[in-house]
A and B are shown apart, each in its own frame.
Chain A
Amino acid sequence: MSNSVKGRPSRVGDAPAFRRALIGIVLTLVAIVIVAPLVVIGYQAFSQGIAVYAAAIAHPDTLHAIGLTVVTALIAVPINTAFGVAAAWAITKFDFRGRRFLLVVIEIPFSISPIVAGVAYLFVYGLQGLFGPALEQADIKILFALPGIVLASMFVTAPFVARELIPLMQAQGRDLEEAATSLGASGWRTFFSVTLPNIRWALLYGVVLCNARVMGEFGAVSVVSGNIRGQTNTLPLHIELLYHDYQTAGAFAAASILALLAVVTLVAKVLLERQGAGRARRRPALAAPVAAPKTASAEVPS
């Protein structure tokens, strides 16, 4: 369709030379910036053979790092999902003072460097921090332990679910909930049988993005975890440690697992987008199952 027919003047920006140059530049950049590093990860991971790769992954420290990453995600993602749904519901269905302010606050983790969050947690929960002495007396360990890692991950990924839901729920308005309530449904019933089915794809999409970010988070976690090998190292931290130890194959083997997680996320994301999640299509459930007698007749040239 975009091929210009000979003899016809090209549309704006459609001159052949321009097209080729633009496509060429984009492809080159993609190759250098995105594809090459991924290929290198795969190549380096297996550079010393499958046996070394398997051994690197089977190393107790690596296995522990994988386990810690999964546990962190298992705690942080559900909590942030609940938070995101609650925040989106509050912001879109209620009128209250400070609604706009809350909307901005939720976005802070997006714009702030994760390392700042890590340092902030140090000041709050660290030994010299705000609650440090009290926590130490009660013998509760937050920093350099799982709770700190989970908290830092949660801070960084707090906006993901809410940001997916808010535009969708704003577009859907309050009519459906009002209709359900006027028909006698309780608040919970309204949420589970009316609200949730209409936001389910966007919600899953937000959860997938949130999960990817939790598993990959480096900066904030690096500050609060203390980098104790085999104890508080998550997978990204473990990769950095191996690399600094000149265990290149091990580092790349561990990295390949994170990359694999990314690919799974990507596939899930594409599948979800097909179901109408994401921000481009606002009324997924309406758009999806419509049989098309109208479009069929529209295709017949009149």
Chain B
Amino acid sequence: MKIRLDNVVKTFETFRAVHGVSLEIESGELVALLGPSGSGKTTILRMVAGLEYADAGHIYFGAEDATDIPVRDRGVGFVFQHYALFPHMTVAENIAFGMKVSKQRRDKTAIDARVADLLRLVQLEGLAERFPGQISGGQRQRVALARALAVDPKVLLLDEPFGALDANVRRDLRRWLREIHQELGITTLFVTHDQEEALDLADRVVILDKGQIVQQGTPEEVCRNPASAFVMNFLGDTNRISAAVAGGIARLGEAQIPAPGFADGPVEIFLRPSDLGWSSSGAGIPATVARVIDRPAGRRILALTATGEAVELDVAPETQVSAREQGIITIERARVYAAG
């Protein structure tokens, strides 16, 4: 089912949570809404579900205007951040709930068969008779997903699906959700504040800030071409250094960074730690090492430039470097954005 949001607005009391968002999600697509807290991503998800009504604008499911269809009849599967499993029902009863209350009558054997199928799908065959309080967080998450899928939703919506889990479980579940999506092909929209999760999982990432979409595209597009300083900053660690452009070239120490299309004047240069190197000579920024942090994948140098700016850079694990050493920061890639 294709979903289309047309200029949707939502205001809480005086706070404008969503600011005129238009978005299209193709049938079968897996899309991430990514943004910091307060960016309006959960509000958008809840409006698609029908748990909030939009103040203005329209939401279409396929050709149908779903804006005013109540959540009960909208046919969405919603997975809550804290799962919202019914604590007094067993896992099997939780999954069967949607089928039991639906207007479309099903007999008991059909429901039982479907519950067994879903338990197999989420790999929880042995846990049907347990209560939610007796299973782990990752298992609860999978029960919540099975429960949402049981009503054959047109759209699957997940609110911070892995937010409450620890890192290893989260990585496993992510892969697994990707597989389930491939198997079922259901249009899926999920909300996250974790850029790694969004990039790992989604076909397309929609980045939000202050209730507006600031960029959307495939993970490759948003990573290689961040549309703004905000996106650049939000997608990963970055150093921000002020510089001046003269004749289409920005200068940082001895380094020259092409800045085509920028008028002469101040700009901001964004440098990812992995796009920088450490060397004893060459054209770069002279700096002094303040501290070295060791990590499994390499060493991170915290350096102070001659002009007093702090810069972080990642180097290979074998690099011999220690505090108070002087050297040159070399630049492999940089992005230039207008100052401000």
Contacts and interface: CB of A to CB of B under 8 A. Distances in A.
Interface stretch (A106-114, A161-169, A179-187): A179-187
B131 A290 contact: yes
A290 B130 CA distance: 9
B88 interface: yes
Contacts of A213: none
Interface residues of B, number: 30
Contacts of A193: 97, 101
Given A183-B97, A198-B88, A287 B133 contact: yes
B127 interface: no
Contacts of A286: 87, 132-133
B80 A183 contact: no
Interface in A183-202: 183-186, 189, 193-194, 197-198
A189 B84 CA distance: 17
Interface string B137-148: 000000000011
Contact of A182 (B49, B85, B86, B87): B49
Contacts of B71: 178, 181-182
A183 B88 contact: no
A197 B88 CA distance: 7
A184 B74 CA distance: 9
A79 B105 CA distance: 35
A121 to B, nearest CB: 40
A186 B102 CA distance: 9
A285 interface: yes
Contacts of A139: none
B107 to A, nearest CB: 17
Contacts of A189: 101
Given A175-B82, A290-B131, A182 B72 contact: yes
A255 B86 CA distance: 45
Interface string B33-58: 00000000000000001110000000
Nearest to A178: B51
Interface residues of A, number: 23
B78 interface: yes
Most chain B C-beta atoms within 10 Å of own C-beta, residue among A186, A194, A283: A194
Interface string B308-331: 000000000000000000000000
A175 B131 contact: no
Nearest to B13: A95
Chain A facing B: main interface SS: helix
A49 interface: no
A179 B148 CA distance: 9
B98 interface: yes
B103 interface: yes
A7 to B, nearest CB: 44
Contact of A291 (B73, B87, B102, B134): B134
Nearest to B81: A175
B87 A283 contact: yes
A15 interface: no
Contact of B84 (A178, A184, A186, A289): A178
A16 to B, nearest CB: 43
A179 B131 contact: no
A176 interface: yes
Contacts of A287: 133
B70 to A, nearest CB: 8
Contact of B98 (A184, A197, A289): A184
Nearest to B80: A175
Contacts of B133: 286-287, 289-290
Contact of A184 (B87, B88, B103, B132): B103
A187 to B, nearest CB: 9
Contacts of A180: 86, 97, 101
Contacts of A291: 134
Contact of B101 (A186, A197, A198, A283): A186
A242 B315 CA distance: 95
A179 B88 contact: no
A183 B132 contact: no
A178 B157 CA distance: 13
Interface string B116-158: 0000000000000001111000000000000110110000000
27 contacts: A175-B80, A175-B84, A176-B86, A178-B51, A178-B78, A178-B80, A178-B84, A179-B78, A179-B86, A182-B49, A182-B71, A182-B72, A182-B78, A183-B98, A183-B102, A183-B147, A183-B148, A183-B150, A184-B101, A184-B151, A185-B72, A186-B72, A197-B88, A198-B86, A286-B87, A286-B132, A286-B133
Interface of B: 49-51, 71-74, 76-78, 80, 82, 84-88, 97-98, 101-103, 131-134, 147-148, 150-151
Top 5 A-B pairs, shortest CB-CB distance = A183-B98, A175-B84, A179-B84, A185-B101, A285-B87
Given A180-B97, A183-B147, A194-B86, 18 more contacts: A178-B71, A179-B84, A179-B147, A182-B78, A183-B150, A184-B103, A185-B97, A186-B101, A189-B101, A193-B97, A193-B101, A198-B86, A198-B88, A283-B87, A286-B87, A289-B131, A290-B131, A290-B134
